[in-house]
Amino acid sequence: TEQNLCQKIGSCGDLSFLVHHGPWSCDDVPQALPLSDTETLAPGKFKPPQTRMAKKKPLGAASTAMATAEEELRGEKKKKIPKSGKSKRVPLGPNRPKTKKVKQKKVSEQKIEKEQKIEKEGKSTDEKPHNLALSEHSSPADLRKFFLGQFESVNGIKLSSLELGSIKDMYFLKLSEGISQDAGNLGRHVKDTFGSSWKEVLFEDHLIEGKIDPGNPAVLVISASAIRSLELLRGLRTLAKKCQVVKLFSKHIKIDDQVALLKNRVNLASGTPSRIKKLCEMEALGLSRLEIIVVDMHTDVKGYSLLTLPQVRDEFWDLYKSYFHQRLVQGNLRICLYGPIPTTSALIMKNSGDQ
């Protein structure tokens, strides 16, 4: 028995008894560690081996097949078999694995989300212009309502009933619906506005004492930038064969050169609010002959126009209050809003949303 075997091993102190007695082979004998000089094996006790017993290797073809089957079985156990029809569960939070590629949303989708967020937070129009339904063919009444509404809201004032009554719908030009309101067609629209007198007013180049003074244009085009002013000037080429159009902006043009040009007859002028106001203050630019101001409503790539770009907008209304408003109230000036403007229904929805 196991107990008798342990007693016999303990009495002789080595494993020779097991080697020479009983049906044992050398492979089956546990290899015990040798005792040190100071260590003795107490009688009746068995020092357990610290190494695992060597497995007996099977021989023959059958044994080889069994070994191969065991290895395959172990390999199948190690393989993880995913559950059919269920995706792998991804942990949330900081332990979430980083993906190699992050799908980015389209720019248009990001803009829509940003605009929706701005509308919910109720941000002012100074940060982002409102996207409203636009129309090029508005009635004079709608043009008047839009323009005066912008004037009151931006400047924080309320026009009296007397002033509102004196500003007629007819002071706001309704352009031909058969011609698009782009930069190339501006000359055609201006020519149609003056009718049969266009050649006398816009085409001639000689001064008339007491009637046509130098530096007094009949049409003044106001836009948000110098680049846009140049685009509109190209549309006026057909009217500037005899009398050139004066550029009234600060980019690459000295103010002294502009003052020199304004000493001649001027029929058409195009520029930005800040430079126009400065030339008016210098009395180089006269307004006694001015009949029409063209307010460019073109929007840039960011959606801003002359009346929505904060700094330029303030400069325009400052110019308007100083030199144009009283002339409009007196009926000596007409305004042309050139380009698409927000429709009345869109303005009503905007105002109700702001409230």
Query: Which tens digits make up the pLDDT trace of 180-238?
Result: 899 989 989 998 998 888 888 888 878 887 788 899 999 999 999 999 999 999 888 88
Q: What is the dihedral of CA 255, 257, 263, 265, to 10 degrees?
A: -100
Give yes or no for residue 306 having a pLDDT over 80.
yes
Contact (Cβ atoms closer than 8 angstroms) between residue 46 and residue 9? yes
- Residue 243's pLDDT band, with cuts at 50, 70 and 90, is confident
Pick from 192, 301, 188, 195: nearest CA to 236? 188
Give the phi and the psi of residue 209 in degrees, each rounded to 5.
-60, 130
pLDDT grade, residue 148 (50/70/90)?
very high
Q: Identify the bridge partners of residue 337 per DSSP, sorted by sequence position.
A: 295
**C-alpha distances in Å from residue 214, one per residue of 198, 244, 249, 286, 323:** 19, 13, 19, 8, 18
pLDDT band at 90 (very low <50, low <70, confident <90, very high): low
Asked if residue 82 is part of any domain, the answer here is no
Domain presence at residue 254: yes
Per the domain annotation, does 31 fall within a domain?
no
Residue 205 lies in a domain: yes
Q: Is residue 46 part of a domain?
A: no
SS3 263: coil
C-alpha span between 212 and 43 (Å, rounded): 138
pLDDT band at 126; cut points 50, 70, 90: very low
The domain tally of the chain equals: 1
Q: Where are the alpha helices (DSSP H) in the chain?
A: 2-12, 16-20, 60-78, 107-121, 140-155, 161-166, 186-194, 198, 226-234, 255-261, 273-281, 310-319, 325-329, 344-354
* Start-to-end CA span in the chain (Å): 100
Of residues 295 and 242, more confidence is placed in 295
**Alpha-carbon span 338 to 294, nearest angstrom:** 6
* Per-residue pLDDT reduced to its tens digit, 18-71: 444 455 444 444 444 454 444 555 555 445 555 445 455 545 555 666 667 666
Enclosing domain of residue 329: 174-342
172: pLDDT strictly greater than 90: yes
Domain assignment present for residue 87? The answer is no
Domain assignment of residue 154, yes or no: no
pLDDT at 130: 46
Is 124 a member of any domain? Answer: no
Query: Averaged over 268-294, what is the pLDDT?
Result: 94
Q: What average pLDDT does range 136-152 have in this prediction? A: 89
> Which of 41-50, 124-133, 256-265 shows the lowest mean pLDDT across its residues?
124-133
Q: Find the CATH number of the domain harbouring 265.
A: 3.40.50.300
Q: Report the pLDDT averaged over residues 144-166.
A: 91
How many whole angstroms separate alpha carbon 200 and alpha carbon 243? 12
Q: pTM for this structure?
A: 0.61
Burial degree of 78 (CB within 10 A; 0-12, 13-18, 19+): exposed
